Structure 1
């Protein structure tokens, strides 16, 4: 897949062998630097190819056709979501607060609940949504996604998930604002789709999907899943919203990088106003299932088939109604 200290990965269908970290660390610094320069050059060239090539309808159809039914299902779910943002309203018939002018007579007769006060109240069902719901999906585009794609199609599944999200949210810009960010050994905040400029056609969506695939091939080894989740939970609240959702996609390869389930659980539950979840979209053996059991109930999911993503997202969106 590129060799010890090699600049990038190249999947030719051969067996995959992971070498221990101490062997990677033994590679001289000047070799690492040279490999990094080669990788960056190849990555930039690949991005130029993506942006300069004509729209490849067959390639896009390959991914889009796999999630077409799921897009319809998810759009039905999005249509059904109600406004959640609390509004400040006058609550009447209170025992304390400001005197309600409409209750003066009752006060003279000894009635005690003659006050009113301002308080936040849940909106009535069907109330128009005043602010958009903001959703950040944090995609795993690390080297292990490419390395083990031949084992369980995890990278293809992630790219399909991106296609599903981009197609499903099209036309809902007033009700939903979504972003796709990547995380890999290169960093925790790799922008793929931003609130301000979501893709509007198949060519633009295909460019995002190709970029994800290329990044996984050419990025450095390493893991920033924890930092990506922490940054997303904190950063998403910079703009006002009806609700906040963070969905982290990961291949569950956390133990290799010393990330403990307790650390991840603390990040997912660090802000009561942010509904944060993780979907394990790849796994070596029972890695994902073991992690799921160690995380807070209802905060993690294992998805080895893209067709299950709409049902998972439905659980994620409706979970906030039970809070």
Structure 2
């Protein structure tokens, strides 16, 4: 019966058994983390302050419910519109907006045998797309990639998240193929500028940018100061960089030089749910 259901599922999404087995390899690698990240997403709360009536004020608009108190001489009979923090655990009225920007540069492919950076990025995509299923009311996301040739290669449209295993496999196949055959170079900074500019104008509870990078920036003359400046360039977007690869101590060196709380090192995909939890939690500490 299981085999029949499996074959019907493959036929439904037009996926071969080979492709299904390939996808399962990535899925099984992150299956425990999917559950962990879904737990994080379930606890997301609103960030935006809400305009509410504050009663018992000594000035403002007359509170109809306190007319009798006004006749008897009570002074606190007015109400005013004020911004109040949302109660803990309150779901956002508007969905949060998340953009994941992936590094698919040639160095990701070239040094994958060194530290598994490209494979880890592909696992991260499976982890995020699987975990975000069913949370569209809380968070809307898209995914872009950058390389020596591209600064905004669209992988996932915000209005068309991957619907099944075949579509998720296509995303990671595109990542692998681009990294394997693209020209050398680095477009990390243009990719970040493009993402921040795009997200800044979105009407959402908050906008969050997560950039995956292999930390191979010094080779292209990119300084931590430049990277940090872009990370903090627009208060409307909470921007973070996650170093998912490193030659020697490059990632940790960058981590120490970048704004605190906006840079992370992820050398094991199992740590990604915790990093995402940190990112969501730190954004709540920022002013709306």
**Scaled by the length of structure 2, what TM-score is found?**
0.88
2:92 to 129, 135, 158: 129
Secondary structure, aligned partner of 2:152 = strand
Counterpart-to-counterpart distance in 2, 1:120 and 1:232: 29
Residue 160 of structure 1 is matched in structure 2 by 123
Q: Is the contact made by 1:280 and 1:302 (CA closer than 8 Å) also made in structure 2? A: yes
Counterpart-to-counterpart distance in 1, 2:129 and 2:285: 27
Once the 2 structures are TM-superposed, how far is the Cα of residue 237 of structure 1 from its aligned partner? Answer: 3.3
1:215 and 2:178 are equivalent in the alignment = yes
Once the 2 structures are TM-superposed, how far is the Cα of residue 85 of structure 1 from its aligned partner? Answer: 2.5
Counterpart-to-counterpart distance in 2, 1:198 and 1:55: 23
Deviations 1:66-120 (A, max 9, x none): 1000001000111111222222212223344334344556566765544332222
The RMSD of aligned alpha carbons is 2.1
Q: Is the contact made by 2:50 and 2:85 (CA closer than 8 Å) also made in structure 1? A: yes
Residue 36 of structure 2 is matched in structure 1 by 73
1:312 and 2:275 are equivalent in the alignment = yes
Counterpart-to-counterpart distance in 2, 1:277 and 1:226: 13
Matched pairs, number = 273
Residue 227 of structure 1 is matched in structure 2 by 190
Secondary structure, aligned partner of 1:234 = helix
Unaligned runs of 5+ in 2: 1-13
Counterpart-to-counterpart distance in 2, 1:261 and 1:159: 25
Secondary structure, aligned partner of 2:233 = coil
Counterpart-to-counterpart distance in 1, 2:67 and 2:114: 75
1:184 and 2:147 are equivalent in the alignment = yes
1:250 and 2:228 are equivalent in the alignment = no
Deviations 1:252-275 (A, max 9, x none): 111111111111112111222322
Residue 39 of structure 1 is matched in structure 2 by none
Deviations 1:246-294 (A, max 9, x none): 1000011111111111111121112223221110001111110000000
Q: Is the contact made by 2:252 and 2:265 (CA closer than 8 Å) also made in structure 1? A: yes
Secondary structure, aligned partner of 2:161 = coil
1:277 and 2:240 are equivalent in the alignment = yes
Q: Is the contact made by 1:247 and 1:277 (CA closer than 8 Å) also made in structure 2? A: yes
Residue 93 of structure 1 is matched in structure 2 by 56
Unaligned runs of 5+ in 1: 1-50
Counterpart-to-counterpart distance in 1, 2:51 and 2:18: 49
Residue 169 of structure 1 is matched in structure 2 by 132
Q: Is the contact made by 1:55 and 1:203 (CA closer than 8 Å) also made in structure 2? A: no
